[in-house]
Structure 1
Amino acid sequence: MYKKFTLFVNLLAFVLFLAGNVQGQTKNGSISGLIKTSDGNPASYVSVGLKNTNKTTQTDGKGNFSIKNIAPGNYTIKVSAIGVSAQEKSITVLADQNINTDFSIAESSSQLDEVAINGYKTPNKKPVNLGKIAIAPMDLPQSVQIIGNQVITDQQANRLSDVLKNVNGVAYGENRGSVSGETFFARGYSLGANNVFKNGSRATSGGMPETSTLESVEVLKGSAALLYGGVTGGAVVNLVTKKPKFEYGGEVSMRGGSYDMYKPTGDIYGPITKNLAFRLIGTYEDAASFRNSVNSNRVYVNPSLLYKIDEKTDILLQGDYLKSNMTPDFGIGTVDNKIMDIGRGAFVNAPWAYNQTNTVTSQLNINHKFNDNWKLNILGNLQSYNRNYFSAERPFADTQAANPLPYGIAARNVTRSKTREFTYNEQINLNGAFKTGSLAHTLLVGADADQSRTTSGGFTFNNNLTTFNYGNVNLLDPTTYFGTGTEPGVNVVSETFAPLYRMGAFVQDLVSITEQFKVLAGVRYTFQKTPRTVTTNLATGVQTLSVNSLDKSKTESAFTPKFGLIYQPLKTTSIYASYASNFIQNTGTDINLAPLDPSTVDQYEAGVKNDLFNGRLSVNLTYYRIANDKFAQQALLNAQGAPNGDANIKELNGKTLSDGLELDITGTIVKGLNFIAGYSYNFIRYTETRDKTVYTVPAPTTANPAATRTITLGGVIEGQRLVGSTKNTANGTLFYTFQDGSVKGLKLGASAYYTGARNGGYNDSKIQTYSRLIPLTSFTTFDFSAGYNWKKISLLAKVANITNELNYFVHENYSVNPIPPRQFMTTLSYKF
């Protein structure tokens, strides 16, 4: 680690030395300004350039633009975008001077939003909210992908998985019980609840977040440990909700589809006063499923207020409420560790099973601009998540040799849970631009804190039974699926309170040495405290602390640095290489029974980002390697030097490695023709684990004081792909809207999604006698869409999985979920 760090610092110093010696003084000038829409709002991400030159740029999210290093002379500056009336102005550039010029385009902000129907804007120029600072992805030594509202709308996406299947390097893993939140893998690492954000704040993925009304979904791939604490190394995902506008408008729509799916949506926005605007979005969903007896009922409301105190300060207050009731469904199970085709719709859960969630989020976002170079953001977020769950658990039938019951028999033990979770998040971010000599800096300094408080109930069944079997089911006999139909009685007997505290501070600097060479460097300090849980016996009121060896809270802390080099030989091309570290938490204890230290994961990434044909085509290629040299595995010996038979006593001496390649393509080559496509490859495996070791240890008994027993240890087989990760994924989506003639407004679209081979079940170990791995084959699904836009009315229809492909996603514990069959969906909408 220190050798790598030293090599990087030396290389950085050498580049800085060269830059300081080769950079000369310039006598060129520059142009900057602000572009607004006809209703006075910023015109974001429109093209600005000098005619007959290669000097082009794009406005930022606030409508600002800047063109530097322009030779003195007379020029014509042009503002343009697909679907926008071009504006031109003559201008004279003087040596060593900045000329400020502003524009007002003929279109309103709503009309500018609708331009997206004719073109997906280049993702390499639009800063992401997850970055906490207005740095375009072209200047970041990290892979970024943005799925905008037009893609979400065109594809009629309902769930986060519908959106993320357009993101290469992020693969759908499974949906345990179909209600506990969708699971994704990025670069081989599972994206837990800590990796999903909403408007930059950590958010729960329980209850399935509503995505159909989002403005965009941002994915920052690789390590995000510099900016956020407690995240895994694969990626972070940010859901961006729609914001208020200072003009009246809105949209109402009705979506319907196969299996009695109905979903009306309303969206209205406008000004309340000159400085105060609102937006209110609401949707209701009621649907059955291709899975027998499975239903969902959801209500979502998203109000927001934007108050512009003055030109320098604005306050955004947002909230949302999601009520999601869904039937728990663990799929079709396994028999003898194999998937049996018992029918795509076979439902083997208890008929009374239910999962009810309520999620409330409120967020206050304050932005203050000290001047053109320095800005402050303060964000506070509160989320409440309640879950009420009662269900039989995942069905799987053992082999006849392991189970004396007839072949195909699976127990249906029930689980009752009721949880309340409150999460608080606070952030403060200061960013500024300044120079030290000839070096230009884009600085970000910030601090954040998270607190969560989870209360969960403990239950008994019927006559105070701690476990209850609803009744065995024969997975091969449909007549046994329903069972008795009787819901067992439940008593809540205890409550367990589990708090968690996390805080951190970071600094990041993007140093522009020249217009071509840039360096990004930063470091974060993260501290996390996990107090002992408190369990209250509701009958007696007696409280009990959880037991650990230290009888105190578990604390973890780490520094996570990041370094990146960016070379931009052209304004439209960026070549980068970066290093970042991330720390992940480990369960269990060391041999002294102290909480196990976190593991530090090193990530190396290199890539090329290209904007071609004046931004109409973006092609990005990324290679990465993620190494964990301190993977936790069962300790060989305990503190007394004797063989260790406790799987919770571990050592940080294993290794894992994840390699991968990602290709992202986005474009609008021809007016009205939009496409996104890409491919990803990942291979994550264990590279060093415990060898198989057999020990004979004393085990005296009264009858035989000399008795012994054997302990066999062994790690996961090296080189085997980790369960849940997907080797290859690919996607392609193309939409074309006819621009002229009698078919003007007609829209046609097609999508293809490829999911490569992957493993379900459990990874094989060196000591097991039979494999519990479930190999899953690759599959491809195809969707076709057609629609028509006429004035303010639009109709869009889609047939998904046209070929009726059958395949499965498998949770490690045998929750086997078939993919949806061929389905139909249509949306009728009216904009006002």
Structure 2
Amino acid sequence: MTKKLFLLAITLYFIAAKAFAQNGAISGSVRTSDGEPVELVTVNVKGTAKGALTDRNGKFQIKNIQPGLHRLVASFIGLEKQEQTIEVTAGGTATLDFTLKENSAQLQEVIVSARNLNRENMIVAKIPLKKLENPQVYNTVSSEIMKQQGITNYDDALRNVPGISRTWESTGRAGDGASYFALRGFDAQPSLYNGLPGLTSGNLDPANVEEIQVIKGPSSTLFGGAFYSYGGMINTITKKPYHQFGGEIGYNAGSFGLNRVTADINAPLSKADKIALRVNTAYHSENSFQDAGFKKSFFIAPSLVYEVNDRLSFHLLTEILEEERAVAPVFFHSDRLSPLPFKNLQELNLNPRLSFTSNDLTIRNPRFNLQGQVVYKLSDQWTSQTVFSRGTVKSNGIYTYIWDDVSGDNWFSQYFHKEQQTTNTTDIQQNFNGDFKIGNMRNRLLVGVDYFRRNVIDNGSGWASARNVTPQGDVNYVDPYSGDTLAPVYLTAASIDNLLAGLEGSASNITNTSFGAYASNVLNITPKLSAMVSLRADYFDSKGERSTSEDDFDQWALSPKFGIVYQPVLDKVSIFANYMNAFINVAPQQVTDLDGSNPRIKSFRPEHADQWEYGIKTNLFSDKLAATLSVYDIKVSDRVMPNPANIRDYTQGGKVGSKGFELDLVANPVTGLNLIAGFSHNKTKVISGDAEDFYSEPGRAIGGQGPQNLANFWATYRINSGTLKNAGFGIGGNYAGEYKVIDNSKTGVFTLPSYTLLNASVFYNANHFRISLNVNNLTSKEYYIGYWSVNPQKPRNSTLSVAYKF
């Protein structure tokens, strides 16, 4: 019996030894033919479910591999798979490196097309988090998508994002002259550049755009209260230098006199010292589809990177934009007091081809932006980031709008104003990022401080009505109140200057600053369960008008943020929920009495917003399908609103609610085919306010909330073999539901109709040459956008793009 037991024990020992033999691991890297690391390459062990993605240094590691020969497959969307064989020994780590034939410049187009998948993002949470790890929702538009769609206007790129719609184009006016968007029912403007302030009073040029991030939900906890962020923020990521010579020269020609020349040139200044310079520049000239209007601009953006060593690097970006435009006035078709004599476009009968301006009435919006960044790796666990941002934007020229002074007579007054304002901003941040463990729980910690200063100098003219117009284009020079005939004022610079010369103008100089301290920690309770806790303390100090101390004030605000993520299938499916907060340190406003007299500065308490959101994110089929579905509920309190008794004044109070859901899909089902799709539904209304106020009647839409239902779709297919290799086509479009631009029981409701736009492209995109033809609004659909306004949009238009890549 003893012998039998001994033999049995020996047998069991060898069985257990074999069963529990120590496994090995595989590590390595993926680089391009010019030695640059490649991020997001999938490396799988063939015949198993084991694999890994390369990190930003191109490195990967696959653990717990049984000893023996294995076949490894490296794959990346749009590239051919590569396979190699390697032998793994028990307890050892085998090393295997892959080299892709394409160089880093050629890979950029492929990499950016996969931006929406589960990659790490450093800016949205200011902590390196994969999309599935982040409890916040965000969408991205890559430069590759913009090239596919022939986009030469920054605003058009956002048609690829669910839940956002433009409500009016850039007006160039002082303070807020950039384009307005409705994001989750609230105002949004492109106000961030690489996560830092990047204010503009005109257009943004897409030449230096690597990616546009639309960060959803109230976002003051990390980005402060200098910008509106109730529905989210629009953040522009700029192109960065890389360590090899390369670039692209492009030309765009299109409808309405479009001529655009671009250049993107990158050069290593010292490979040994890792210094590289990249310059993006563009000249743009374009007319309007209306009877007058144009845009001319010159843009240049040099950027420099100096990687001193593995620990220390310097980054510098400068952007200079010179822009001159003749801008069509915003057509406000209501006095916001009287019952509307028309309820829809048919009754208003606005001629969409009329601009109500001339090319002699121009506005200039020069812009300067400087950003510097120092990144130092303190240790394996801690990194320091010091950033500096300095911006200057100007509005100089004629701004005009159309207003219904006397309702019911079909005549609308056109007002003019000479803009002369300069806004200077300074932002300094110091961030520390840690990645460490307490016990078995991983912590990713951010601790930061932020200083922001804004100075606004305004020497603009007064306001004057020059003439009256009808929506059909008739003109008269009659005082709408007295009926007296006035001297004609023509649409020339000399005539408008003469009209405004005798009016009292502004002479203000306003400065305000904010000091913020914030912390955010992502705790991995288990590998599948993580929680985020964040808090910001912000001190706002307004010196108001420099000539008086009567409008000085200061205040504190706290902004918390919480999130939880559970991944039932790690790196493939995550279920998330968040609570987010925003506060707006509302900049003091210059107000006057109803007749324009008694100009003065008025300050306000912070507005606040709170959001609850939950949803699911997926990244399936080896990075071929990414989807996000979320449901949110936002409430805003202490909202600043126009004074119902004086359109040139503001008051504060009331609550607004916004509820909705969003669906976003990005798919690469087969090689060469890329799909983007999204749908959103939003309902925004006043919860409590002033029943007598046009802007804040309880139960009504707040205005500027955009259409309730939005959908977007874009598909491209690129042929990868045969005679037509590198040729392809794209098709897609956008849908917007009905939109109440006016929703008031006393004035009535004015609704813009729903519309569907179709866009298409054909292209040939080889290694060194790209040519494409894009046609937008294929059916030449007549459609409109608006705030409390009616703004006609472009009919069918096309763009021919040619580029040489080197």
Classify the secondary structure of the residue corresponding to 2:289.
coil
Shift of 1:321: 0.7
Contact 1:306 1:314 in 2 (8 A): yes
> Would the alpha carbon gap of residues 379 and 393 (structure 1) be closer, same or farther in structure 2, given more than 3 Å must change?
same
Structure 2 counterpart of 1:86? 82
* Aligned with residue 166 of structure 1, among 154, 157, 160: 160
Tell whether 2:500 aligns with 1:500.
no
Q: Deviations over 1:355-389 (max 9, x none)?
A: 10111111111122234432221111111112202
Aligned-residue identity in percent: 24
Structure 2 counterpart of 1:329? 328
Structure 1: how far apart are the matches of 2:235 and 2:128? Answer: 16
Tell whether 2:686 aligns with 1:686.
yes
Contact 2:116 2:140 in 1 (8 A): no
Contact 1:397 1:408 in 2 (8 A): no
Tell whether 2:58 aligns with 1:63.
yes
* Aligned with residue 219 of structure 1, among 214, 217, 236: 214
Structure 2: how far apart are the matches of 1:93 and 1:196? Answer: 54
Classify the secondary structure of the residue corresponding to 2:118.
helix
Q: Deviations over 1:67-100 (max 9, x none)?
A: 46x36645554332131552535253766x8877
The aligned runs of 1:199-214 (5 Å cut-off) are 199-214=194-209
- Give TM-score, length-normalised by structure 1: 0.83
> Would the alpha carbon gap of residues 30 and 218 (structure 1) be closer, same or farther in structure 2, given more than 3 Å must change?
farther
- Residue type of the partner of 2:722? G
Contact 1:34 1:65 in 2 (8 A): yes
* Aligned with residue 535 of structure 2, among 499, 504, 523: 523
Structure 2 counterpart of 1:17? none
Shift of 1:319: 0.7
Mean Cα displacement is larger for which, 255-264 or 612-621? 612-621
Q: Deviations over 1:611-654 (max 9, x none)?
A: 12211111211111112355568999xxxxxxx999989675x4
Tell whether 2:43 aligns with 1:48.
yes
Q: Deviations over 1:571-609 (max 9, x none)?
A: 3111111112222346899xxx99654343221111111
Root mean square deviation, CA, Å? 3.2
Structure 2: how far apart are the matches of 1:327 and 1:249? Answer: 37
Structure 1: how far apart are the matches of 2:583 and 2:256? Answer: 44
Structure 1 counterpart of 2:804? 830
Shift of 1:43: 0.8
Structure 2 counterpart of 1:392? 400
Structure 2 counterpart of 1:718? 698
Structure 2: how far apart are the matches of 1:595 and 1:488? Answer: 31
Structure 2 counterpart of 1:770? 747
Q: Deviations over 1:125-155 (max 9, x none)?
A: 2425333222111100111211111101111
Shift of 1:412: 2.2
Classify the secondary structure of the residue corresponding to 1:627.
strand
- Residue type of the partner of 2:448? G
Structure 1 counterpart of 2:592? none
Shift of 1:395: 4.1
Q: Deviations over 1:459-486 (max 9, x none)?
A: 3xxxxxx543323334444466995342
Tell whether 2:740 aligns with 1:743.
no
Structure 2: how far apart are the matches of 1:479 and 1:721? Answer: 33
Contact 1:660 1:681 in 2 (8 A): yes
- Residue type of the partner of 2:529? F
Contact 1:156 1:212 in 2 (8 A): no
Structure 2 counterpart of 1:673? 673
Contact 1:196 1:204 in 2 (8 A): yes
* Aligned with residue 185 of structure 2, among 185, 188, 198: 188
> Would the alpha carbon gap of residues 34 and 174 (structure 1) be closer, same or farther in structure 2, given more than 3 Å must change?
same
Structure 1: how far apart are the matches of 2:75 and 2:256? Answer: 45
Structure 2: how far apart are the matches of 1:633 and 1:178? Answer: 22
Structure 2: how far apart are the matches of 1:826 and 1:408? Answer: 41
> How many residues of Structure 1 are paired with residues of Structure 2 in the alignment?
740
Structure 2: how far apart are the matches of 1:714 and 1:788? Answer: 53
- Residue type of the partner of 1:433? D
Contact 2:719 2:725 in 1 (8 A): yes
- Residue type of the partner of 1:154? Q
* Aligned with residue 464 of structure 2, among 428, 448, 468: 468
The aligned runs of 1:791-802 (5 Å cut-off) are 791-802=767-778
Contact 2:24 2:67 in 1 (8 A): no
Classify the secondary structure of the residue corresponding to 2:203.
coil
> Would the alpha carbon gap of residues 341 and 91 (structure 1) be closer, same or farther in structure 2, given more than 3 Å must change?
farther
> Would the alpha carbon gap of residues 504 and 612 (structure 1) be closer, same or farther in structure 2, given more than 3 Å must change?
same
Shift of 1:243: 1.4
Q: Deviations over 1:628-681 (max 9, x none)?
A: 355568999xxxxxxx999989675x4322111110100111111111001011
- Residue type of the partner of 1:152? M
Structure 2: how far apart are the matches of 1:594 and 1:181? Answer: 23
- Residue type of the partner of 1:240? I
The aligned runs of 1:572-721 (5 Å cut-off) are 572-585=572-585, 596-628=604-636, 652=653, 654-690=654-690, 716-721=696-701
Structure 1 counterpart of 2:497? 488
Structure 2 counterpart of 1:113? 108
- Give TM-score, length-normalised by structure 2: 0.85
> Would the alpha carbon gap of residues 682 and 522 (structure 1) be closer, same or farther in structure 2, given more than 3 Å must change?
same
Structure 2 counterpart of 1:341? 349
Shift of 1:351: 5.5
Shift of 1:265: 0.9
Structure 1: how far apart are the matches of 2:121 and 2:341? Answer: 47
Contact 2:117 2:619 in 1 (8 A): no
Q: Deviations over 1:753-793 (max 9, x none)?
A: 011222224x426xxx433x421111111011111235522
Contact 1:123 1:145 in 2 (8 A): no
> Would the alpha carbon gap of residues 426 and 585 (structure 1) be closer, same or farther in structure 2, given more than 3 Å must change?
closer
Structure 1 counterpart of 2:521? 509
Classify the secondary structure of the residue corresponding to 2:756.
strand
Structure 1: how far apart are the matches of 2:22 and 2:126? Answer: 34
Tell whether 2:388 aligns with 1:380.
yes
Shift of 1:315: 1.0
Contact 2:207 2:262 in 1 (8 A): no
- Residue type of the partner of 1:283? A
Structure 1: how far apart are the matches of 2:211 and 2:489? Answer: 44
> Would the alpha carbon gap of residues 368 and 48 (structure 1) be closer, same or farther in structure 2, given more than 3 Å must change?
farther
Structure 1: how far apart are the matches of 2:650 and 2:801? Answer: 55
Shift of 1:503: 2.0
Tell whether 2:254 aligns with 1:257.
yes
Structure 2: how far apart are the matches of 1:359 and 1:512? Answer: 43
Shift of 1:66: 4.6
Structure 1 counterpart of 2:548? 545
> Would the alpha carbon gap of residues 410 and 521 (structure 1) be closer, same or farther in structure 2, given more than 3 Å must change?
same
Structure 2 counterpart of 1:540? none
List gaps (5 residues or longer) in structure 2: 1-20, 335-339, 478-487, 590-600
Classify the secondary structure of the residue corresponding to 2:723.
coil
Q: Deviations over 1:657-706 (max 9, x none)?
A: 2111110100111111111001011111122335x6xxxxxxxxxxxxxx
> Would the alpha carbon gap of residues 827 and 337 (structure 1) be closer, same or farther in structure 2, given more than 3 Å must change?
farther
Structure 1 counterpart of 2:9? none
- Residue type of the partner of 2:351? G
Structure 2 counterpart of 1:457? 459
Tell whether 2:376 aligns with 1:368.
yes
The aligned runs of 1:277-296 (5 Å cut-off) are 277-296=276-295
Contact 2:534 2:561 in 1 (8 A): yes
Structure 2: how far apart are the matches of 1:793 and 1:564? Answer: 46
Structure 2: how far apart are the matches of 1:651 and 1:207? Answer: 28
> Would the alpha carbon gap of residues 155 and 658 (structure 1) be closer, same or farther in structure 2, given more than 3 Å must change?
same
Structure 1: how far apart are the matches of 2:476 and 2:358? Answer: 11
Q: Deviations over 1:27-86 (max 9, x none)?
A: 987665543323232211211233322233322333344546x36645554332131552
- Residue type of the partner of 2:716? F
